[in-house]
Structure 1
Amino acid sequence: MKRVAIGILGTKLDHGFWEDRWESWRPTISLFQHEELLFDRFELLAEKSFSKLSGRVLEDVRQISPETEARLHEVSFGRDPWDLESVYAALHDWARSYPFDPEHEDYYIHITTGTHIAQISLFLLNEAGTLPGKLIQTSPPVGRSNRKPALPGYAVIDLDLSKYDKLSTRFAEEQAEAADFLKSGIATRNPAFNRMIDRIEQVALRSKAPILLHGATGAGKSQLARRLHELKKQRGGLKGPFVEINCATLQGDTAASALFGHVRGSFTGAQRDRPGLLREADGGMLFLDEIGELGLDEQAMLLRALEDKTFLPVGSDRPATSDFLLIAGTNRDLRCEVAQGRFREDLLARINLWTFTLPSLAQRREDIAPNLDYELRRFAGSHGREASFNKEARQRFLTFAEAVDTPWSGNFRDLNAAVTRMATLAPRGRIRVEEVEEEVERLRESWHRPGAGSAMEGADLEALLGDGLDDIDPFDQVQLAHVVAVCRRSKTLSEAGRELFAVSRKKRAVTNDADRLKKYLAKFGLTFEALK
């Protein structure tokens, strides 16, 4: 592999036309004063007005490194060498026209010379891959070695940060801190949820595009949106407020007014101007929960606001502006809403770049214990007094909470309410088995829906199996009905298998819940896909 150096003429540091120039440190010349660092070719970029100096530098390079082919490239940086736009454009145009051959040549980009703007431009072009290779930085000699003048120094900088252990560790720690912040410090154990939070953290800090949070009511969309806002304020440069609205509360003529504002006299009761939520969120974050509840007219206005940063307040003919980040929440399948004409396809396309589905509490049963501790801390913070379980009470509650047939219909809202009630009723802040048993009954009662069919009725085995149902024992019918119900509410075969075999899988060294469930269904001539 040939070794090629690319550098910019240092109009100040590379100075000198007299013999005493060799007594001074010249960064470009110092590149070629190292026996272990030999270059086959050197590409020097310089303004035409400095042709005399660049010619002298090239002559000196050839003198100390005769094996190096030294070539000059005239580049115009414009009138102001401190203007980033013009300098970057000039270097970019040169790089695009240069015949790079990375399969046969190694490139070293010298970043010691030129203005700071030129050095930043070289860095950006290298990071983007337009200038391939490694960055190399030269430095003046320090002290003396064996009574001889010390040689100038150099350092090769590879932007692959994974090669720098301390930097990699620091970045990993910062990413873990951000993910922990988004989880409110809860030591969650669900692998899928943790992976999702890591992805959300990356997107939040790297993208300004809308984020769509999908999940059942009470799955934590609102809390996660608030944490995203705080994270963006800490690390993403966001300065504006967090503005939240549940779109289900926006009805009729007041919906557009609440979101986009109105001018005085635009309708009966409009006695003064109203800025609207979009303008309140200017420079910050707008969280539209249950966005699927928005009317089609409001959806069209929101789309324009996202694309153009402008919108018309109700009754106004002058557009208003607002630059905000959008987080949207929904418990609906917006694709189905589009198919049924209740949601605009173009708006879905605009907000669907980053979509994350928050699992329900029932799908994260291993996270119930750490969330229980979190709810106790929240209670202490909001009520000003501590509360805790005794050992037997905690075990009794977790046995109930983690059981596969505990539905947790209201998700984390149910858990929060349960902890609040038990902690409030606990004598001297100590939750006993008595409080747990009372709460278990209260939760079961709250989840009961009068007139709701049994699992057998919900599964509709007769429709699935026809006459074959008569060949199955009643005992097996009950079991099969439960399996069918779990499959229908699960997204994947593996997810259903994990729920159905949650206890026995802990006792096995090798788990293949999906295959186990697939074989069970096959006994009755059923498949997971057919049930879905």
Structure 2
Amino acid sequence: MRNVVIGFLGTQLDSGKRKRWKPSVSLCNQPDFPVDRLELLYDQKFLRLAENVRREIEVTSPKTEVLLRQLNLSDPWDFQEVYGKLFDLARDYGFDEDRERYFVHLTTGTHVAQICWFLLTESRHVPAKLAQTGPPRDEKDGPGKLDIIDLDLSRYNALQQRFDLLAREYSDLLKGGIETKSAAYNAVIDRIELVASSSDAPILLLGDSGTGKTELAQRIYELKLQRRRVKGRLVQINCATLRGSSALATLFGQRRSHTGQAGSERSGLLHEASGGVLFLDEVDELGLDEQAALLHAIETGRYYPLGSDHEVTSRFQVIAGTSRDPVHLTAEGRFRPDLLARLNMWSFRLPALRDRREDIEANLIFELARAERELGTQVGFNTDARDLFLRFARDPATLWPGNFRDFGSAIRRLCTLAPRGRITRAMVEEEIKGLRTGWQRAAGDGDHRLLIGILGNQAAEIDPFDRVQLAEVIRVCRTSASLSEAGRRLFAVSRTQRRTTNDADRLRKYLQRFGLEWAMIAE
């Protein structure tokens, strides 16, 4: 294959003003690097120098074809102009990689031109390696040195391994060091790592209560801190606690003039988050007035504290969390669509624990270690107790309505009550009984409200026995992506005893008994 080099004419170096060394000429005289074609980019003002260099190369390296390409630059230090003209050159060039190997000569041209060459070769707009020449230490040493640089980092195994290791470290940070196996959760974490490392835009975390939004927000902040995306602190607030007139003062601060009382001044959370991250948990609980003021502060970095005639500046990044669907809330007029559009640029839904059953054992190990740190003592399961708990935790009938909050609390109770640091089967049986009783009581209180909301007065005509069962079916449907998935969860045991399974059809017929359809429940 032919070696083709593209480079700028060195208006200073190629004139021989440095130890009579001319880089373009030296490049074509390298004994181990034959140049079949050199394309010199020159400005019209230096045409005579370009022709002199071509003639000299024809004498010293007669096998090298020299093509002069005129490229006029009004300002060779203007990045926009240089990059634009080199980009156009690359687009129109017509590279033939089957017959030719391409190189870019970096030694000549301004520093701006060198940066542009780096960008164009790294992005493969110019499919070339970089050639860097240098003068010889002594005239007897020949034409000087030549280094070839390939910007395809995938070819540098050691570098690639370091990048992969760093990416794993960031991913482990976001997962809290838990060896998760859930493909859906790992995909979410990988995407969050990319966004948090390269963007300052707001991040919206969606998911049921207890899925770990608060812990993940703290880890995102730690990642941003490591990647030097932020320098300030993490300020977090549960927006459900912001009520009445104090909500604006808590967020935006308050001057003494607002109340006239000494000691009433407040800096506000937005001021405290300057240079850092503001985490707004349950952001959908904010009132519409607070939402409007918050939107302005996020977009402009400026706001008015209560009682102040002067704007305050605070630049911060935002992470928001909600356990409800903000799109539905917007349709109901309870969440501003413009604030949702601002927060929703990067949104990530965290799967519930019931959808991550393959991660239950890893989270059990994590919760045990955390309980040991808190209690200051080593705790472990007896083998039969551990097997029983894992069977219960992984059972499709165990829906974990409180997600990791319920899971972590159960492990902490077991560890606290464990005699001599051992969790027994009897203790696990008692904990399982307590969990089921609590969940049934909580569900029972809401069964009537749930059915009234769907069936209206018709709910009173349903037997109490059917009422409990129907309410549970509706809850499973609302936490499933499709009728088939809901059927698989509801008939997880009986389906294994049937020759043919059509869970969706069984569920559809059950709902029809009460005049219900999937669409009515899914909404």
Is TM-score (shorter-chain normalized) higher than 0.5? yes
Question: Helix, strand or coil: the match of 1:265?
Answer: helix
Question: Helix, strand or coil: the match of 1:262?
Answer: coil
Do 1:111 and 1:122's aligned partners in 2 also have CA atoms closer than 8 Å?
yes
Structure 2 residue 209 is matched with structure 1 residue 217: yes
Do 1:4 and 1:105's aligned partners in 2 also have CA atoms closer than 8 Å?
no
Distance 2:37 2:466 in 1: 79
Q: Per-residue deviation at 1:496? A: 3.9
Question: Unaligned regions of 5+ residues in structure 1, if any?
Answer: 79-85, 467-474, 508-512
Distance 1:524 1:443 in 2: 28
| Alignment partner of 1:229 out of 195, 216, 221 | 221
What whole-Å deviation, never above 9, does each CA across 1:392-429 have from its counterpart, x for those lacking one? 11111111111111121211111111111111111121
Q: Per-residue deviation at 1:258? A: 0.8
Structure 2 residue 59 is matched with structure 1 residue 60: no
| Alignment partner of 1:489 out of 468, 479, 486 | 479
Do 2:302 and 2:313's aligned partners in 1 also have CA atoms closer than 8 Å?
yes
Q: Which moved more, 1:381-390 or 1:65-74?
A: 65-74
Q: What's 2:71 paired with?
A: 73
The one-letter code sitting in structure 2 at the alignment partner of 1:308 is T
Do 2:397 and 2:489's aligned partners in 1 also have CA atoms closer than 8 Å?
no
Aligned ranges for residues 410-449 of structure 1 at < 5 Å?
410-449=402-441
Distance 2:346 2:51 in 1: 54
Q: What's 1:354 paired with?
A: 346
Aligned ranges for residues 459-478 of structure 1 at < 5 Å?
none
Aligned ranges for residues 453-532 of structure 1 at < 5 Å?
485-492=475-482, 495-496=485-486, 499=489, 517-518=503-504, 520-521=506-507, 532=522
Q: Which moved more, 1:178-187 or 1:100-109?
A: 100-109
Q: What's 1:177 paired with?
A: 169
Distance 1:142 1:317 in 2: 69
* Equivalent residues, number: 500
Question: Unaligned regions of 5+ residues in structure 2, if any?
Answer: 459-464
Question: Helix, strand or coil: the match of 2:444?
Answer: coil
Q: Per-residue deviation at 1:495? A: 4.8
What whole-Å deviation, never above 9, does each CA across 1:127-154 have from its counterpart, x for those lacking one? 466x53324122449999xx99587434
Aligned ranges for residues 328-407 of structure 1 at < 5 Å?
328-407=320-399
Aligned ranges for residues 48-197 of structure 1 at < 5 Å?
48=45, 54=50, 56-63=52-59, 64=61, 66-77=64-75, 86-98=77-89, 100-101=91-92, 103-105=94-96, 108-114=103-109, 116-127=111-122, 132-140=126-134, 152-159=145-152, 161-197=153-189
Aligned-CA RMSD value: 4.0
What whole-Å deviation, never above 9, does each CA across 1:279-312 have from its counterpart, x for those lacking one? 1111111100001011111111111112111111
Question: Helix, strand or coil: the match of 1:349?
Answer: helix
Q: Per-residue deviation at 1:212? A: 0.4
Do 1:459 and 1:482's aligned partners in 2 also have CA atoms closer than 8 Å?
no
Question: Helix, strand or coil: the match of 1:195?
Answer: helix
Q: What's 2:278 paired with?
A: 286
Do 1:368 and 1:401's aligned partners in 2 also have CA atoms closer than 8 Å?
yes
The one-letter code sitting in structure 2 at the alignment partner of 1:30 is L
Identical-pair percentage: 43
Distance 1:363 1:288 in 2: 25
Q: What's 2:6 paired with?
A: 6
Distance 1:418 1:217 in 2: 16
Do 1:47 and 1:75's aligned partners in 2 also have CA atoms closer than 8 Å?
no
Q: Which moved more, 1:227-236 or 1:28-37?
A: 28-37
Distance 2:247 2:262 in 1: 14
Q: Which moved more, 1:401-410 or 1:269-278?
A: 269-278
Mark the CA change 1:108 to 1:502 in structure 2 (over 3 Å): closer, same or farther: farther
Distance 1:375 1:453 in 2: 30
Distance 1:458 1:437 in 2: 30
Distance 1:494 1:231 in 2: 39
Mark the CA change 1:310 to 1:43 in structure 2 (over 3 Å): closer, same or farther: farther
What whole-Å deviation, never above 9, does each CA across 1:495-522 have from its counterpart, x for those lacking one? 5466457789999xxxxx9x95446557
What whole-Å deviation, never above 9, does each CA across 1:358-393 have from its counterpart, x for those lacking one? 111122112111111101111122222221111111
Distance 1:157 1:13 in 2: 24
Mark the CA change 1:104 to 1:94 in structure 2 (over 3 Å): closer, same or farther: closer
Do 2:473 and 2:490's aligned partners in 1 also have CA atoms closer than 8 Å?
yes
Question: Helix, strand or coil: the match of 2:430?
Answer: helix
Could you tell me the TM-score, scaled by structure 2's length?
Answer: 0.82
Mark the CA change 1:444 to 1:505 in structure 2 (over 3 Å): closer, same or farther: closer
Distance 2:35 2:490 in 1: 66
Distance 2:96 2:222 in 1: 46
What whole-Å deviation, never above 9, does each CA across 1:143-198 have from its counterpart, x for those lacking one? 99xx9958743425244x33443333332222222111111010111111111111
Question: Helix, strand or coil: the match of 2:259?
Answer: coil
The one-letter code sitting in structure 2 at the alignment partner of 1:119 is Q
Q: What's 2:461 paired with?
A: none
Mark the CA change 1:391 to 1:142 in structure 2 (over 3 Å): closer, same or farther: farther
Q: Per-residue deviation at 1:482? A: 6.7
What whole-Å deviation, never above 9, does each CA across 1:50-79 have from its counterpart, x for those lacking one? 77655543443444355231234343446x
Distance 1:8 1:232 in 2: 40
Distance 1:363 1:30 in 2: 62
Q: Per-residue deviation at 1:324? A: 1.1
The one-letter code sitting in structure 2 at the alignment partner of 1:95 is L
Could you tell me the TM-score, scaled by structure 1's length?
Answer: 0.81
The one-letter code sitting in structure 2 at the alignment partner of 1:134 is A
Question: Helix, strand or coil: the match of 1:138?
Answer: strand
Distance 1:32 1:522 in 2: 81
